[in-house]
Amino acid sequence: MSDPGGAAADAGRRPTAADDPPQASGPPRRAVLVGGLAWVALVDAVLWWIYYRPAPKQLFLDEWQYVWTAGAIQAGGPASTYLIWPPGQATVVAWAMRALGGLEPAILAIQLWQTALLGLSACLLADLGRRLTGSRAAGAAAGLLLVAHPGVLAFSQYLFAEVSHLALWLLALWLPLRWREGGAGRLAAAGAGAAWGAALLFKSLLGAAWPLWIPILRRSGPLRPVRAWLPALAVDLALFLGVGLAVTVPARLDNLERFGEAKIADASAFGLWIGLTDTRRSDAWQDRTGLELREYLDSSPSTAERREIYLERSRRRVAERGPWAVVRDKLGTQYFRLLSAKTNLITQLPGDLCRGHLPTYRDPPPSAVAFLTLASHGVQLLTLAAFAFGLALWRRWRHPLALAAGGLLAYQFAVYFVLHAVSRYAVQLWPILCLFAGWFLAALAARRHDPGEPAAAGLAVAGGLRWALGALLALLLAWFAFAGPYLDRMCS
């Protein structure tokens, strides 16, 4: 069966310019693009309005931790507190406070900076989508979907580390695909390593995911002799890992001196315990994470001892419940929290405490609250459904970016099956969801209006079974996104 969108790139190979899929004859339809950008501008304007009117929003959860740590950094203290939070975001807050002379101007500067980073992320994702699908329309759709979700766009205004981490790991994916051969390819591998290492300083999740960059770094196809591609791959991978690890060395050495461990951060034992014992399907309702964290920190002055205490607790929990009961429990909770439509934004909007609302916005107009809630739910449902069909109908799995994106998706779903999951962590999943969702939406539109568009070729050969699988996956993802509060019987 033919490969839609052009001949597939050899497995694991870094494509050359000649390997790029054919491009659409023209840019995306202007009305759709302008409409999408107008939607993003509208949502962003409403978010700015309610953040500062009638009074600035209060900080929320880890935002307070970053501000407190930033103050400690200015006083000569550590950038990594208790070896739980990576030092990147607190360091950025400290720099901004020092340069601007206070917290309020620092918050505004960080918001503007993170808005630019989120815009950069959308541009990077759009170009990645074009390279993956051969369609500018599909790439543009992916980029717009990334910033169309109010729950994602709101993070550009928060002091959480999500946006910085997101931009850096997208940059790490994009650089080796943008500059591929010769000396430029070497520099791209080193630059990708620097971006990957910097991303770990904001969120250390991708630390074990480095093998997923191999398909992008690899230069020759599998039918060529090993000696044709292995030396180049070895050099590029060494540059990627070497530069990436070098970026993290100062933080590791500082933590080695202060905590006795050369790590960026490690909250895995605590996250494992909370993931095993938390029975909620929704964020911020009967939340016991803060109390558990205090108990965790008080369990021992040593980070290594705390880790071992909680690993032993987790082993006992699994032994008492039994492995299959634990798996059943996790299937009934983890992905409801991760994919929940009750995002960090909606949690902070006014609403019933028993429904998990912890309002930090200062008396926003009800019309703005209703608009953001409906918009957030609508975009989330659209993206999850389009992703489900896009994943089920996608065929070009030999493309290096498809291998890397699919691997990153599986890696994160596996991590959050084991560790505690909250809706905030889905921000790192969103670009991959948008890649496949953007392709499907562009292909669906092109199938009717422009059959010559490369994105449409994937649907032309799709059988009924793939459509049925897409429908089932869409229903499952919608169930995870919206059913949690009802299953938790909130306010009942």
CA distance linking residue 395 with residue 162, whole number of Å: 31
Query: How does pLDDT run across 159-203, given as a tens digit for each residue?
Result: 999 999 999 999 999 999 887 655 567 788 899 999 999 999 999
CA distance linking residue 248 with residue 250, whole number of Å: 6
DSSP-derived 3-state class of residue 96: helix
Query: How does pLDDT run across 71-129, given as a tens digit for each residue?
Result: 888 887 777 778 888 999 999 999 999 988 888 899 999 999 999 999 999 999 999 99
Query: How does pLDDT run across 119-156, given as a tens digit for each residue?
Result: 999 999 999 999 888 888 889 999 999 999 999 999 99
CA distance linking residue 124 with residue 129, whole number of Å: 9
Residue with structure tokens 């999740």?
A: 205
Q: Residue 456: its pLDDT value, please?
A: 63
User: Would you say residue 27 has pLDDT above 50?
Assistant: no
Q: Residue 242: its pLDDT value, please?
A: 93
pTM of the predicted model, to two decimals? Answer: 0.86
User: Would you say residue 23 has pLDDT above 50?
Assistant: no
Is 401 in contact with 132 (CB distance < 8 Å)?
A: yes
Query: How does pLDDT run across 282-307, given as a tens digit for each residue?
Result: 776 656 777 788 888 888 888 888 88
The Cβ of residue 388 has, within 10 Å, a number of other Cβ atoms equal to 24
CA distance linking residue 382 with residue 125, whole number of Å: 18
CA distance linking residue 243 with residue 125, whole number of Å: 23
CA distance linking residue 491 with residue 484, whole number of Å: 13
Q: Residue 13: its pLDDT value, please?
A: 45
User: What is the sign of the dihedral through the CA atoms of 485, 486, 488 and 489?
Assistant: positive
Token readout for 486 is: 């009802």
User: Would you say residue 348 has pLDDT above 70?
Assistant: yes
Query: How does pLDDT run across 414-460, given as a tens digit for each residue?
Result: 999 988 888 889 999 999 999 999 999 988 887 766 666 666 666 66
Q: Residue 391: its pLDDT value, please?
A: 93
User: Would you say residue 45 has pLDDT above 80?
Assistant: yes
Q: Residue 47: its pLDDT value, please?
A: 95
Is 51 in contact with 157 (CB distance < 8 Å)?
A: yes
User: Would you say residue 247 has pLDDT above 90?
Assistant: yes
Is 148 in contact with 197 (CB distance < 8 Å)?
A: no
Q: Please give the share of the chain, as a percent, with pLDDT higher than 70.
A: 87
User: Which residues does 28 contact at the CB level (< 8 Å), separation at least 6?
Assistant: 136, 137, 140, 141, 442
Residue with structure tokens 């918050």?
A: 107
DSSP-derived 3-state class of residue 317: helix
Strands, DSSP E only, in 36-131?
none
In whole numbers, what is the pLDDT of the chain averaged over residues?
Answer: 84
CA distance linking residue 21 with residue 6, whole number of Å: 5
Q: Residue 15: its pLDDT value, please?
A: 45
Residue 21's pLDDT band, with cuts at 50, 70 and 90, is very low
CA distance linking residue 376 with residue 145, whole number of Å: 12
User: Would you say residue 465 has pLDDT above 80?
Assistant: yes
Is 11 in contact with 398 (CB distance < 8 Å)?
A: yes
User: Would you say residue 24 has pLDDT above 50?
Assistant: no
Residue 224's pLDDT band, with cuts at 50, 70 and 90, is low
DSSP-derived 3-state class of residue 485: helix
195-220 in b/e burial notation, b at 16+ Cβ within 10 A?
A: bbbbbbbbbbbbbebbebbbbbbbbb
